[in-house]
Amino acid sequence: MTSTRTLRYAQVACACIWCLFSAGIIFGFAALKPILISEGVYHELCDPKDGDRLLCTAQDLKLNFIFALSATVTNIMALPVGKILDMYGPRVCGIIGSCLLFLASGNFISAKHLVSLWDPYLVGYTLLAVAGPFVFISCFQLANSFPQRSGTVLALLTGSFDSSSALFLLYRLLYQNWFPTLNVSRFFTLYLIVPVFILACQLTIMPHSSYKTVNHIAKIAVEGLDENGRLIEGDTGSGIIPDEQERQSLIAIEREEDSIPSRPQRRKSVLETYVEDKLQKKSGGIFGVLHGKSAYEQIKSPWFYLMLLFALVAMLRINYFIATSEHKKNTY
């Protein structure tokens, strides 16, 4: 696929915008919860003996269950989303994500009418959780729209994902300080702009097929080399091999090997071997420790559980910060 530079800038900008407003918004539940409580969501679960208390134990547990289920679902969805992305491309994933966001918003907008059929808050929030990976993971391929700036593009996308949890925090500030009539139904009516925006982008400017696979993008971001272990077009290699004499020597060897007739199976290039050895030394032997391992072997390894622990702590810190930011603002 050929794209002008301006179009590629527009694609990255649009992806960052919709990731900011949809990719990880479920992780801002701590900010949305007080609004749901003030609007009496699940208050019917409270025992009449509790009186007019704003929050009872049964109501609190039910609200917490919404977040627990959604957080689990959004992480589980990464695998099927990756499969759909490989089979049908980023455009289909983006369109599915926008449709799911539309359905999620519809549940919140019509919650009073749907409550007799199903739990609209649980279903709506779960749909938001399912939609997140569809609109986020499908954007990774944009990192290769600017190969020499792939790390920057990935940083923008992941930064937008991390920042998206603040959407409900912004909503809570507006609701509590300036717009008390902006209830959940009205908020999600306005939020319909997001799935419409995603759908419009997917049908117009976004690429139908991926620039590169996620594995290729990861290789570019980590090693600074393309999927064949060669320098990215236009890159001199000074970033990965600072010493000019050593760099020229390795590039010369690489060119000699390129002139040899290709072998049936691809082997690592000289530059690839050099970069991986350098990364392995720099990381204390950690880099590549799971390369070549099966999925089962990776899951059994302690590295997998260390990554899970890191993700757990990160999510707890984000939600704790959001939940306590209002209290800190009023206290200090």
CATH of domain 5-216: 1.20.1250.20
The two tokens of residue 151 are 């790390």
Q: Express each pLDDT in 177-218 by its tens digit.
A: 888 888 888 999 999 999 999 999 999 888 776 665 545 555
The DSSP result for 191-220, as a single string, is HTHHHHHHHHHHHHTS-SS-SS-HHHHHHH
Could you tell me the two tokens for 300?
A: 């059994």
Spans of all domains in the chain: 5-216, 224-288, 291-332
Q: Contact at 8 Å (CB) between 126 and 73?
A: yes
- Give the span between the Cα atoms of 233 and 45, in whole angstroms: 62
83-132 residue pLDDT tens: 888 888 888 898 999 999 999 999 999 888 888 888 899 999 999 999 98
What is the rounded CA–CA span in Å between residue 43 and residue 50?
A: 11
Please indicate whether residue 149 or residue 191 has the higher confidence score (pLDDT): 191
| CA–CA gap between residue 313 and residue 109 (Å, rounded) | 33
- Residues 238-253: pLDDT tens digits? 555 555 565 556 555 5
Q: What is the pLDDT of residues 226-241, one digit of tens each?
A: 554 455 555 555 555 5
Record the pTM: 0.69
Rounded Cα distance between 94 and 101, Å, is: 11
